[in-house]
Amino acid sequence: MNIIEYTTDVNADRTSRQSTTNTTYDKLVSILGEPTYVDMGRHEKVNCEWSMKVEYQNPLSDDPTDTKTDIVTIYNWCTGSIPYTLYPWHIGGKSLIAEELVNAIIRNEISPKE
């Protein structure tokens, strides 16, 4: 997956869980920066979330100028607090490509565009 760039702190309305990725909070912060959303309330369903708008080369095209854009999220779900050890972080998006995008960002340690 060829990620061109991504920005954080975007509106992630109408996304839903697509998959999970096993990693740690510290690894996510080192790559993505501080979370977009944090709520330490133990009764909250989501305590921590990163939302991103990702631009990437269309995987069905050989043309490098043929790009697509998707919104993806990484978040904890119903843990009562932010998990700091290895945890299956939820990946949200509008399609199954969200999992591939998030894993490409984490695997290649791609930082967001400023």
Q: What is the pLDDT of residues 59-88, one digit of tens each?
A: 889 998 999 999 999 999 999 999 999 999
Percentage of the chain exceeding pLDDT 90: 86
User: How many whole angstroms separate alpha carbon 72 and alpha carbon 57?
Assistant: 16
Residue 18, helix vs strand vs coil: strand
Residue 1 in this model has a pLDDT that exceeds 90 = no
Average pLDDT over residues 18-42: 96
Longest dimension (CA), the chain: 48
Q: Is the pTM of this model over 0.85?
A: yes
List, for residues 39-62, the tens digit of each pLDDT value: 999 999 999 999 999 999 998 899
Please, what is the end-to-end C-alpha distance for the chain in angstroms?
Answer: 21
